[in-house]
Amino acid sequence: MTIRFSSRIAASCCALCVTGVLTLTPVPASARTGADPVTPTTADARLLYRSGTQARLRSGAPRLPRDVSALSWLVADAGTGEVLAAHDAHRELPPASTLKTLFALTVLPTLPAGLRHKVTEADLAGIGAGSSLVGVAAGRTYRVSDLWRGVFLNSGNDAVHVLAAMSGGWRDTAVRMQAKARSLGARDTHVRSPDGYDTSGQVSSAYDLAVFGRAGLRNADFAAYCGTAYAKFPGGGGWSYEIQNTNRLLTGANGVERYRGVIGVKNGYTSRAGNTLIAAARRGGRTLVVTVMNPQDGGGYAVYEEARSLLDWGFGAAGRVTPVGSLVAARPVAQAGPEAPASVRVAASVPVAATVTPDSGPGWPETWTILGAAVLGAGAVSLVLRFVGPKRV
C-alpha cells in the first residue's frame, strides 16, 4: 500500500510547519526595539588592567600633563562613567581616608540625619593611634548629621567609630562595605578598617575610588557633606566650634589655590598610603572625577596640584579622546591573557540593562522552536491522514 498526497495537501503541510517555526522563533532584540543590539566587549576593561598610562587621544586633544608623579591616577566623566585616561588604574594601594567615601555609601542610608545619639566609651574604643579626630566626646549627644560633617570635613575617625557603632558595629560595617564595593563593580578594594586607617591587607585602587566618588555624588546627602567647606561642630554645653574641610582644593587653604568648579570629594593621608585624593569638579555642564594616589614628588600638597592638572586636562580633552574604560558596573565576564589576572572578573563598559549577551549555542528558545515545529508538522500530517485518507493502487 502506498500513501500519496495531492500537491495542494503537501504544500499545506509545509506551510503549517514553516508557520510553526516562524511563530515560535524568538524575535531578536534589535527587531523588537529597532536598534542595533549592544554586544559587550572587554577591550576597554583590559586596557585599564595594563600597566602604565592608558589614553586614546584624537586629533585636537591636549597632551597629558607631565607633572603627575602619583603611583596611580584616573580621570573620568562622572556623568557617563567613561574613563578618559588612567595610569595603573587597578594597582592596589592603601587608600587612607578616601575609603571613608565607601563607608558613607554604606552607612548613610541606614541612619536618619536628625537622629540623636549619646556617645559612650564603647563607641570610641579602638581608635588607632595618631588618627585624625573631630572632637567627639563620650557622654555628649550628637545628631547624625553632625557626625557626618565630622567625617567629611575633619576626616574624624572618632565620628566614623560612633556611626559604625550605631550601624551594627565595626566588623559588621567592614563586611557591608566590602559587599557594597563589589555591588558597585569595585573589585580591587579590601576593607579591614572602615575609617581608612592603615591596616595590613587594606587596599583600594584609583579605579575603585573613582567609582565610589561617582556613586557618592549621585547621593544628595553625600554630595552636600563632601562639598561643604566650613561648618560648626557641637562642643558641649551649648557652644560649638568651626571645622574646616581638609580638602584644600575646596577651601583654598594653606596656599593651595581653590579649584574653579570644585564640588568635593575626599582626601586622605597615612604614612603607608601617602597622600590620596578623590576630587570632582563641574564646568559647562560636565562633571569630572579624578583620583590621585601617592604622588612621589612635590611634597604634601602635590596631590592637589596633580589633581588640578588632571582636571584641567580632562575638561580640555572631553569629547576629543576615545574612552579607555568605564566606571559603570556591568555583567561580570571572564578575562584571559597576561593583561588581566585570572582572578579578575571585570565588567564590560556598558550598563547591565543595556547588555545583550551573545548566544553561546542551542538553548531553550531553540529547543522550543524545534519542538513546536515538530508538533505542528505532526498535527498537519495527522489531519491529512484522517480526512483525506490513503489512495490504493
Q: Which residues are catalytic?
A: 97, 100, 155
Report how far residue 290's alpha carbon sits from residue 35's, in angstroms, rounded to the nearest whole number: 33
Beta bridge partners of 190: 203
What are φ and ψ of residue 359, in 5° steps? -65, 140
Q: Which of 104, 57, 94 is nearest to 206 (CA)?
A: 94
Report how far residue 323's alpha carbon sits from residue 320's, in angstroms, rounded to the nearest whole number: 9
Report the amino acid identity of residue 98. Answer: T
Range list of H helices, the chain:
7-24, 29-33, 43-48, 100-107, 144-152, 157-166, 170-183, 206-217, 220-226, 248-251, 302-317, 364-387
Q: Which of 174, 72, 162 is nearest to 119 (CA)?
A: 162
Residue 163, CA distances (Å) to 74, 245, 279, 352 in order: 30, 19, 24, 33
Report how far residue 123's alpha carbon sits from residue 166's, in angstroms, rounded to the nearest whole number: 8
Report how far residue 265's alpha carbon sits from residue 217's, in angstroms, rounded to the nearest whole number: 8
Query: Around 50, how many Cα atoms within 13 Å sit in the side-chain half-sphere?
Result: 14
Question: Which helix (DSSP H) or strand (DSSP E) does residue 216 occupy?
Answer: helix 206-217
Cell of 171: 566588623
The dihedral through the CA atoms of 345, 278, 167, 190 has a sign that is positive
Beta bridge partners of 232: 242
Q: Which of 287, 306, 290 is nearest to 298 (CA)?
A: 306
Rg of the chain on CA atoms, in Å: 29
Report how far residue 163's alpha carbon sits from residue 142's, in angstroms, rounded to the nearest whole number: 11
Helix 157-166 / helix 144-152 crossing angle, nearest 10 deg: 140
